[in-house]
Structure 1
Amino acid sequence: MLRMLIVEDERLEREGLLDFLDWSSFGIDVVETACDGIEGIESAKKIRPDIIITDIKMSGIEGLEMSRRIKEFLPNVKIIILSGYNDFKFAKEAINFRAYSYLLKPVDEAEMIEAIRGATSECVKDYEKSVEESKNRLQIEESYSVARIKFINDLLEGSADEDKLYEYLKYFHINLINDDKIIIMVIKQYVEEAGTLIYMDELLGIVKENIEDFKDSKYFNFDKTFLFKDQIKKQLVVGIALNDEDDFDTLLYFISNKYLQRIKRDYNISLQIGIGSKVEGIENISQSYKSACEAIKFGEFWSITGLTYYEGVENHVKQFEQKLCDFVIKGNYFSKNLVSALSASEEEKVKGLLKDMFEYLNQFKCNDRDFLNNYLYNIINEVSLFVYNINKRTEEFMEDYNDSLRSFMNLRNMKAIEEYFHGFFESVLAFLNERRGSKDELIVKKVIKLIDKRYMECISLKTIAAEVYLSPNYLGNIFKKFTGKTFNVYLCEYRMEKAKLLLSKSNKKVSNVAQEVGIPNTSYFCMVFKNTFGIAPGEFHEMVLRG
C-alpha cells in the first residue's frame, strides 16, 4: 500500500490534481493534500508518503525548499515537481536534491501517468530491497547471537575450544583476560513471593539496566561484565571481574543492600541470586558457574529470597555434617511421636509435631536431597505401617499412598514438601477417623449412659476410661468430638441440671442436694450452681417455694 501527498496552494488546482487520475489503479491507497510548504512538511512527518506531487511556487515555503527539508527525514521519497516556468534553473535545483521528475504546467496526462508509473515502480523496488536487507541483517544478527550463546554456554560448562578462546572472547565482545579474578552469578525471579511475574527478556532488561546504573562502582570492572540468558534453565548468568580480590565482601553488600532492594522497590519483583566461588583465570569460569548453580539450587529449595553464595553453602554443609547424629535421632523422635499422636487421634498434637519438625529441618537445611528424602520417607513409612496394622484391609489407602510417594521424591522445594506432609497426615487422620467413627460413637454413648447411672458417685474421666478400656486422653478426645464438650464440663452441667430438678421438687437442704449429685463439698457446689444459673441454690429454692 503506497501513500501520496499533493502540495498545492491553489485550491482549484489542488482539487483538480486529487481527481486527475484514478490513483488506486497505480497501487496508491492513501492520498492526502496540503495547502502550502509548511503544511506539506507537517503532513509528510505524519503520513510518511512514498510519493509527493508539489508545485514550485507557493506562499510561505516554496516547493523546492519544502522538498529539501522533507528529503532530510524521508530520503527515499519520490518527489514530482510541477512548474509553470520553463526555466532550466528550477529543473537544475530539482535535480540537485534528487527530485524524481520535473513536469511543466499544464500537466499532460500521458506525462503524469508515465511519471507516476515510474515512481511507484521505484517505490516497490526500494521496498523489496529494504525487506531483503532487513532479512539479511536479521540472519547475520541471529547467526551471531546463536554462536555467542553457544560459546558462552561452552565457556560456562568448561568445554570451550582453548586454542581459539581469546579469539572468540574478542569476537563476542567479552573483555576478560586470564589474570582476572572472576565471579559468576546466577539470577532467577523468586516466584514464591507475591509480586509481578515477568518474562525472561523483561528480567534481562531490568538486570542489565540496573547493572549499568552502577558502572562507576570501584569494586568491580563494568567493562568486563557480561550477561547471558540461559533460556533452557530459565535463568540469567552474569560474569563479573573484581578490581581486587578484597572487594568480594563489598560486592555482596552492594547486591544485598542496594541492588536487590532497588529492583524490589522499582519493579515489585524479588530475585534469587546464587554467587559462585571466586576463581582466577578464564579457564576456571566453569568452576565458578557450577558452584553458582549449586548455590541458587540451595536457595530455591529452601526458599531463600535474595543472595545465596557458595562459600556460605559449603560452611553450612560442614556444620550439618557435625550434627548429623543428632539430626537422625531427632528424626526417630518425630516419627515415634507422630505415630503416637495418630493412634490417639490427637489432631492438634499432630499439627504441632509437624510444625516443630519443619522448623527443625529449616534450621539445619540439609543439602543432600537423597539423604533428606530418605529421612522423610522413613517417617512416612512408619505411619503407613501403623495404618496397615490397624486394619489390614487398607489397599485403597496404600495405593494412594504409593502414588503420592513417587511425586514426593521430586517436589521442587521444602515448602512443597511441607504442604505434601500436611496433606498426607490429614488424609491419614481422615482415614483413621472414618474407620474409628462408628466404634467411637458407640463408646461415647456408653459413657453418657454411665454418667446418667453414676453421676452421684465420685467419678472422673480417668475412672470411666478404665471401665471402657481406653486411655483418658483418647476418651477425652472422642467424647469432645461427639458431644462438643469436654467430659468434665458435660458431667458438671449434667449434675447441675439434676440439682436444679431436686431443688425445685423437694424441701431438701442444699448440702443434701450437693451430696446426691456427687459434689460433697457444699461451698464448691454453691459456687458452681451460681456460675451455671446466675443464682445461688438457696435463693433458687426459696424462689420456687414462693411460686
Structure 2
Amino acid sequence: MLKCLIVDDEYISREGLIDSLEWAEFEITIVGAAQNGVEGLRLFEEHRPDIVVTDVKMPLMDGLSMTKEIMNIDPTTKIILLSAYGEFSYAQEAIKYGVSYYLLKPVDEEELRNTIQEVVEEIRVSQALSSDKQITELFTAQKYVLCKNEELFIRIGDKDLFFEKMIVAQGFFRSKFIQIYVIPQGRMYPMLETLSKGFYSLSHQDGNLVEAYNEANKAFRSANFWQVDKETFHNVDQQWYKWKKSAKMRNDTIDMVTVTLLENTSGNRLQHLVQTLEGFIRVLKQFCGIDKEQIYFYCYELIHHLDERFFLFNDQNDKQRFKEHLYQNEVFEDLTSFLKREIIILFDTNELSPTDNKIISKVKNIIHEQYMENIGSKSIAEQIFLSPNYMGQLFKEVTGKYLNDYILEVRMKEAKKKLIETDKSLSVIAEEVGTSSQAYFTSLFKKVYQMTPKEYRRKIKKI
C-alpha cells in the first residue's frame, strides 16, 4: 500500500479530501492529516508517505516551504499542491520546489481522482525500475529462474526440507520458520495436501521478476499478519476480489454495530457491546488473507462511525492517537484484541448520566437552532441517526421531560423574549417560533403561562 499525507489548515477541507475518494481503490492508505506545515513536516518524517496533498496558505509554515523541506528529505515524494490562488507566480514557485501537480480549490472530485491515478502509476513505474536489479539479484542468488505461469506460495510452519529444491526464500518471523516456494503449474494442490497451513498468490507475468516477487511478498505480508493455525489455505487474490465485492455488506455491518449499541445503553450494555464487537471480528475473519492495511482502514471506519454517534474522543488529537496505536498492531489477533479492549474502555468512560449526556446535548442544540422550523422527534432523530422512539425514551430518562414538551418550552421562552423586546405582531411571532397559526400560538402560550400573549405583553409594559 502507498502512503498519503493530507495537509490543510481548514478542517472541512481536510476531511473533504479524505472522504472524497475511496483511497483503498488506489491501494493508498491515509497515514495522517495535519493543519499546518509544521505539523505536516513532523508527520512526514514520522510516516515517510509516498504522496503529500497540501494546501498553499497555512499558518506557521505554508505549503511551499513545507514542500521545500520534504524534497530535501526525500526528493522522490510526489507533491500535489492545492490553492485558491491561480496566479502564475504560485505555480512557478511550486515547479521550482519539485511539485508534481498543482490543483485549484475548490478541487473537482474527478480531477483529484485522475491526478491520484496518474501519481500512483508514476510511483509504480518508478518502484519497478528501481527494484528490478535488486530482485533479479535475489532470485539469481537462489539459483532459480522464474518461468511463465508459476504459482507463488508462502508457508508458515515447522521447517520441512522435502520441497527444498523449490524454495525461493526462507527465514524466521516471530520464531516461526517461513518458506516461499515457486511451484510449477499443476502441482499446487497436491502440495497443499502435505503442508500444514499457509497463503498463496498466483502470478501470470511471463517471467516478470518484479511482478512475481511482489506477488510473493503480498502473500508473505498476509501470512505474517493473519498467523492462521488451522489447516486452511487462502488465495490472496481471491480474498482481495471478495473484499472489493463486499463493500455494501461491510458498511451495513458498521451500521448494524452502531444501531445495536445505540439501542442498548443501560443494564446489560457491556454484554451487548462485547457480543456486537465479536460479531464484527467474525466478519473480518471472512477475509483472511487480505492486506492488513485494508483491515486497519475498516477498523478505523468503525471507530470514526461510533465517534460520530457517541462522542468517544475529547478532540481530533485523541482520535489520531488512537488511530496510530491501532496501526501498530502487526498481527490480526493483536489488532482485534486491541480494538475490542479499547472500545470497551471508551464506552465505559463515556457512560450516559443524567447530568452529562452528550447525545442529549446535541438534541438540545438542534432544538435551540431549529425551533422556528417544523421540527419533531422524527426530524431530530434523523439528524443524529437514532430511532425516534429510542431518542424520546433517552431524552425523558436524562432530562425528566418529554421531547415535545421541551420543544414547546423553548418556543414559548423565545416567544416571551420577542413579546418583551419587539413590537412584532402576534402572527409574525407565531411564525418565528415555529407554530402554524396565531390562534394555535395563543392556545399554546396560554397553556404554558396561564395567560394569552396579549395579556402577557400588557402586563410587562405596566412594570
- Bin for the TM-score computed over the shorter chain: 0.3 to 0.5
Larger radius of gyration between Structure 1 and Structure 2: 1
In the superposition, the TM-score normalised over structure 2's length comes to: 0.40
In the superposition, the TM-score normalised over structure 1's length comes to: 0.34
